[in-house]
Chain A
Amino acid sequence: MNCKQVQDLLPEFVDRQLKQTFLAGVETHLKACSECETLLTIYRQNMQLLGSFPEVEPPPDLVEKIVRRTAKPAGFLALMERYLRLPAPVLLPAVSALLILLLGPAFLQMNTVPSRSANKYIHRAWSYSTRLYGKAEGMGQEIATFKNIFMLILDRRVEKVQEELENYRKQKNDQQSSQTSYITCDGNGSHQGAINHVLHES
């Protein structure tokens, strides 16, 4: 038997799985060939080293990180978050603004009002985006405002944009006021802050 043949049979030889017909030939070769004998020694040492391979300790915050990630929404938003490394509250307005910046001027450049079907598709796309993002992080109102402004620009009613923004600000202020009164009542255990707030508003 030559070195190549013997070396290929070493795993079975070490595992005592080698057929009787080859055993004597391998043993005789190993006694005479120092190279194959060294390989056998290293092979055995490796087996021992691999068997005692040290276990390593995972980072202490690994479980927490996994739990945090599994709690996040799956799908497109998670994918965006993972690759852009931005949280949802930043991504949503950023994506919407980008869409407006990219598509708005293109339509304006055409110098025509978009056709009915284009209009329909824009509405449908916005409706889809609203459904997709609307509930996330309470951004529904922002998305709706973006959509309204976008449609106003397309309809060449730019003068109404200011009005739309005013409406949005007003709604936001109302929302914050109601939240403030609620927090004041609940948080301090005293109704005085809420009463003051209501009085001030009226």
Chain B
Amino acid sequence: MLIKKYQRRVYNLCYQFFGRAGRAEEMTQEVFMRLYGSLNRYNFEMEFPTWLMSVARNLCIDFYRHHKKEKFVDIDVVAALPAPNGDGPAAEYERSEAHRTIHEGLLRLSDDLRMAVILRDIQGYSYDEIAAVLSAPLGTVKSRINRGRLELARMLMAQREAGELGGTA
């Protein structure tokens, strides 16, 4: 069954994009509803998961642009699936804090850059697949990913410096 097979992938993409469990659930439902209503328009030249992701991407971006006034920077901490390596609780906590910080940084990126970085660095899609999902040329995709990564690094560096300054003051 399509829903069972792909719900986790879509839900995770939505959660990574919005940082809210409730919103991710709502958007996942919308994605499958949209899919259900547009199966007759399925482009057979596209792999099904890629097409599904492009539907999810369009809905997420549309929703984000229509609700820009909402604050998206607070994230819900959702129970993650256990990590394959069994580190101690302290290391586990440190890693989850680092993930939370980077997730918050991601949510401050513009929608296009955020989606490109999520698809490439978290979801692990190839550049060609991302170009198909985003319906954008390869050059644009690479540029968005690079800009997104760089902005994220700058943001976290500034945050770290501000933290250090706050600590010394």
Contact = CB atoms under 8 A, between A and B. Distances in A.
A102 to B, nearest CB: 30
Interface in B111-169: 117, 121-122, 124, 145-146, 149-150, 152-154, 156-157, 160
B44 interface: no
A66 B29 contact: yes
Given A56-B12, A58-B28, A63 B4 contact: yes
Interface in A1-52: 7-8, 10-12, 38-39, 42-43, 46-47, 49-52
Chain B interface size band reads 35 or more
A131 B117 CA distance: 49
Contact of A66 (B32, B37, B102, B150): B32
Instruction: Say what secondary structure dominates the interface of chain B.
Output: helix
Contacts of B11: 56, 58, 62
A11 B117 CA distance: 12
Contacts of A157: none
B91 interface: no
Contacts of B90: none
A57 interface: yes
A51 B121 contact: yes
Contacts, number: 103
A169 B17 CA distance: 55
A65 B32 CA distance: 11
Instruction: Say what secondary structure dominates the interface of chain A.
Output: helix
A49 B98 contact: yes
A62 B15 CA distance: 14
A8 B150 contact: yes
Interface residues of A, number: 30
A137 interface: no
A56 B15 contact: yes
Interface string B85-101: 00000000001101100
A55 interface: yes
A42 B150 contact: no
A46 B79 contact: no
Give the 6 A-B residue pairs with the shortest CB-CB distance, closest first: A54-B80, A11-B146, A50-B121, A58-B11, A43-B153, A56-B78
Interface of A: 7-8, 10-12, 38-39, 42-43, 46-47, 49-59, 62-63, 65-67, 69-70, 74
8 contacts: A7-B154, A42-B153, A55-B12, A56-B81, A58-B12, A58-B25, A65-B25, A70-B32
